[in-house]
């Protein structure tokens, strides 16, 4: 009977110690800190843009430091008679329904494409780009 009692006390004490120690085990050590400047993309804000023309010409720019730079580079790579369809920070896409183009943005290519198609009301994704 005494052994049974001691086992229960030991089990209860072990559970309490584990519960108290768990938060400390989950905290990252100070040496695990990463400076945002060391990260290749995450932590730094870049802009991208996609430009389209009614004749189907397209141009895009990614990893630009400003919205204006991204839009200017996209327009320059598209050619004349182009308009900005979308400017984004993560991913962008353009959908086309045979008549019109519409842009969308998202966390990844799939999400950006879905956003572009839902804004257009159908169609298909014709171009995607990500920073």
Q: What is the pLDDT of residues 4-51, one digit of tens each?
A: 655 665 555 555 555 555 555 444 444 444 344 444 555 679 999 999
Residue 75 — very low, low, confident or very high, per pLDDT cuts 50/70/90?
very high
CA dihedral 12, 14, 19, 25 (to 10 degrees): 180
pLDDT tens sequence across 51-74: 999 999 999 999 999 999 999 999
Q: By the 8 A CB rule, do 101 and 78 touch?
A: no
Comparing C-alpha atoms, which of 124, 103, 120 is closest to residue 112? 103
Question: Rounded to whole angstroms, how far apart are CA atoms 103 and 114?
Answer: 10
User: DSSP state, 29?
Assistant: P
Q: What is the DSSP letter of 43?
A: T
86-117 tens-digit pLDDT: 999 999 999 999 999 999 999 999 999 999 99
Both tokens of 118, joined, read 């839902």
| Two tokens, residue 39 | 């990260």
Contact 91, 129 (CB under 8 A): yes
Claim: this prediction has a pTM higher than 0.75: no
**Per-residue pLDDT, 44:** 73
């Amino acid at each position: 009977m005494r052994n049974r009692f001691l086992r229960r006390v030991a089990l209860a004490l072990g559970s309490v110690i584990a519960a108290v120690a768990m938060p400390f085990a989950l905290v990252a050590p100070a040496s695990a800190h990463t400076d945002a400047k060391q990260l290749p993309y995450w932590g730094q804000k870049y802009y991208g843009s996609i430009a389209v023309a009614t004749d189907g010409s397209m141009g895009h720019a990614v990893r630009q430091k400003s919205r204006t730079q991204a839009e200017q580079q996209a327009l320059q790579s598209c050619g004349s008679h182009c308009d900005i369809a979308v400017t984004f920070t993560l991913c962008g896409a353009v959908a086309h329904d045979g008549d019109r183009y519409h842009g969308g943005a998202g966390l990844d290519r799939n999400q950006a494409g879905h956003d572009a198609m839902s804004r257009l009301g159908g169609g298909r994704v014709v171009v995607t780009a990500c920073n």
